[in-house]
């Protein structure tokens, strides 16, 4: 593919008149560590995997070999996608009085603090240490108050559904909780 323009590559992949969006997608795929499979790219012609398969064909790879390589790239991405992602929940012992429900719903996201991709792979001890760091940063940013929710009392580090480690506002472990989780189900008669 050396020496071929992006437009020529896209035409060889089956795009009649490549658009700037098609060219940008190709550039992103070529620059990506996972060749665009992590981004969920899509256009009217190809999904991410189909785009990569068409690109592989232009590069001279045989179909079976290309599919195996794509599958090898997709496995860790699939694992990341399906893994439970630990997070921190900010506990303020909030009791609703006159606050409108829509305002609380709009502010609910402020009570959840998330970690970077791959965090779930760390040993629990490291996760708890990083959770403590994040808590200390959050306390500095918020000065210990979370808007409509009020004064921050503690944080719950939730590494798995129904299980939490309670951490102080200094990031120290102070307890453990088990709680019921809601599972929504959709059924069609």
* Each residue's pLDDT tens digit, 140-171: 999 999 888 889 999 999 999 889 999 999 99
Tokens of 56: 């592989």
- 6 contacts 23 by C-beta, under 8 angstroms: yes
Domain assignment present for residue 188? The answer is no
Name the domain boundary from 60, 81, 102.
81
User: Same structural domain for residues 158 and 131?
Assistant: yes
Pairing mode, strands 87-91 and 173-178: unpaired
* 70 domain residue, yes or no: yes
What pTM value is reported for the model?
A: 0.61
Q: Give the residue numbers spanning the domain of 115.
A: 83-178
Q: What digits encode the pLDDT tens for the residues 50-105?
A: 888 888 888 888 878 878 877 777 766 677 777 889 999 999 988 878 877 887 77
Judge contact between 157 and 164, C-beta under 8 A: yes
Q: Give 176: exposed, middle or buried? Use CB within 10 Å, 0-12, 13-18, 19+.
A: exposed
- Kindly state whether residues 91 and 149 are assigned to the same domain: yes
Write down which residue in 81, 108, 140 finishes a domain: 81
Q: State both tokens at 184.
A: 């929504």
| Angle in degrees, CA 23, 50, 66, rounded to 5 | 105
Residues 48 and 31 reside in one and the same domain? yes
Q: Examine residue 10 and state whether it is found in any structural domain, yes or no.
A: yes
**Quick check: is 134 in a domain?**
yes
Q: Report the candidate in 65, 43, 44, 41 with the shortest Cα–Cα distance to residue 53.
A: 65
> Tokens 């009649």 label which residue?
16
Task: Please state the domain count of the chain.
Answer: 2
Asked if the structure places residue 118 within a domain, the reply is: yes
Same domain, 76 and 121: no
- Answer yes or no: do 62 and 115 share one domain: no
């Amino acid at each position: 593919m050396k020496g071929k323009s992006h437009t020529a590559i896209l035409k060889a992949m089956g795009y009649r008149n490549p658009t700037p969006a098609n060219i940008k997608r190709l550039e992103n795929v070529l620059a990506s560590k996972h060749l665009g499979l992590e981004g969920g790219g899509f256009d009217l012609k190809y999904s991410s995997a189909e785009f990569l398969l068409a690109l592989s064909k232009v590069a001279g790879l045989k179909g079976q070999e290309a599919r195996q390589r794509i599958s090898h790239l997709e496995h860790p991405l699939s694992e990341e996608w399906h893994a439970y992602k630990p997070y921190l929940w900010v506990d303020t012992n909030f009791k609703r009085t006159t606050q409108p429900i829509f305002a609380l719903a709009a502010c609910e996201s402020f009570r959840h603090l998330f970690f970077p991709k791959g965090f779930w792979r760390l040993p629990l001890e490291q996760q708890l240490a990083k959770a403590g760091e994040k808590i200390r940063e959050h306390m500095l940013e918020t000065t210990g108050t979370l808007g409509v929710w009020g004064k921050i009392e503690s944080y719950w580090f939730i590494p798995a559904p129904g299980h939490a480690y309670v951490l102080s506002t200094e990031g120290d472990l102070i307890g453990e909780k088990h709680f019921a989780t809601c599972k929504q189900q959709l059924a069609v008669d």
